[in-house]
Amino acid sequence: MHVGDRPGLTTPAAVLALEREHRRELVDDLATEEPLEIRLAAGGQTRSLAITMRTPGNDFELAAGFLFSEGVVSARDDIVGIEYCVDPSIDAEQRYNIVTVELAGDMPALERLERHFTVNSSCGVCGKASIEALQVRAQPIADQLQVSYEFVAELPDKMRSAQRIFASTGGLHASALFDKRGNLLTLREDVGRHNALDKIIGWALLNGRLPLRECVVLVSGRASYELLQKSVTAGIPIVCAVSAPSSLAVETARAFNVTLCGFVRGSKCNVYSAPERIIA
């Protein structure tokens, strides 16, 4: 990568491919994984808030979605602007790995937030916030959306057909947002499943579409507490996952009246909470 270049979505790598007695040298496309530091600027101060390992792309959405999911901002008007680092003291190669979010008003009291903001691509934000802490700033979902089982069963194929980067790398998670008619509203890919959902929430925040009423989200892989927490803050009534949910994800879905569907594959799925939204 040349100094100052924006990191790409994929990175080529030389590999030795082995198949029985055959050996081939070829070039493989890997999903790029780079750090992203999120900084806050407000009231004449600039503070570093979080570092996440992510796939470059839609970085401003990622930052906005993360801040909303964690309660740092509550509305689009709380954000004055978002930009990449322009500090001349920073190595030019890293400037696209730092975003600064300028907030309206004073710097929030970050030490009072419920989490320590260190993020990685496998486990999400380190440490778990309790359901009780989430209840302080979020209410149960009252959305009366109902969809058919067939609606849910068709979502994985729709998501897979839109996963442009996964098709070339095989190494990315995805979150896909659908409306009540099954139309794909937006899809984001990332090495971190929580990042992919934050990018969708950031897209909705920056475009004035929150809360996401009458919407369904499908996530690749398992459904964790982290993903349910983010879905609750965004007002998403139905969360579907290709793989299994965790026990805390199910507890959270039940506490906030979210319909949680797991193992959504082929002609099967399990509904763990609020099953009245899935109709025959």
Q: 255 versus 88: which is more confidently predicted? A: 255
For the record, the structure tokens of 156 come out as 């994985």
14 is a domain residue: no
Pick 96 or 168 by higher pLDDT.
96
Cα-trace Rg, the chain: 19
Q: How many domains does the chain have?
A: 2
What does the pLDDT read at residue 1? 35
Tell me what pLDDT residue 172 has: 85
Which of 123, 215, 261, 269 is an active site residue?
123
Give the C-alpha separation, 274 to 143, whole Å.
11
Q: Which of 49-53, 98-102, 125-129, 236-240 has the lowest mean pLDDT?
A: 125-129
pLDDT category at 168 given cuts 50, 70, 90 is low
Query: What domain range is 90 assigned to?
Result: 34-127
User: Is 133 within the bounds of a domain?
Assistant: no
**Statement to judge: residues 227 and 114 lie in one domain:** no
Judge if 87 and 168 occupy the same domain. Answer: no
Phi-psi region of 274 (alpha: psi -120 to 50; beta: other; left: phi over 0): left
Residues near 69 by beta carbon (within 8 Å), at least 6 away in sequence: 198, 201, 229, 230, 233, 234
Mean pLDDT of the residues in the chain: 88
Within a domain: residue 1? no
Same domain, 254 and 164: yes
Do 48 and 99 meet the contact criterion of CB atoms below 8 Å apart? no
CATH number of the domain encompassing residue 265: 3.40.140.10
**Residue where a domain stops, chosen among 63, 92, 127:** 127
Instruction: Name the least confident of 95-104, 124-133, 153-162.
Output: 124-133
3-state secondary structure of 86: coil
Residue 226 forms part of a structural domain: yes
- CA dihedral (225, 165, 152, 266) positive or negative: negative
215 as an active site residue: the answer is: no
- Domain assignment present for residue 67? The answer is yes
* DSSP characters over 126-144: SS---HHHHHTT-------
- 138 within domain boundaries: no
Q: How far apart are alpha carbons 23 and 192 in whole angstroms?
A: 32
One domain for residues 182 and 102: no
Are both 53 and 157 inside the same structural domain?
Answer: no
* pLDDT at residue number 128: 43
The pTM of this model reads 0.88
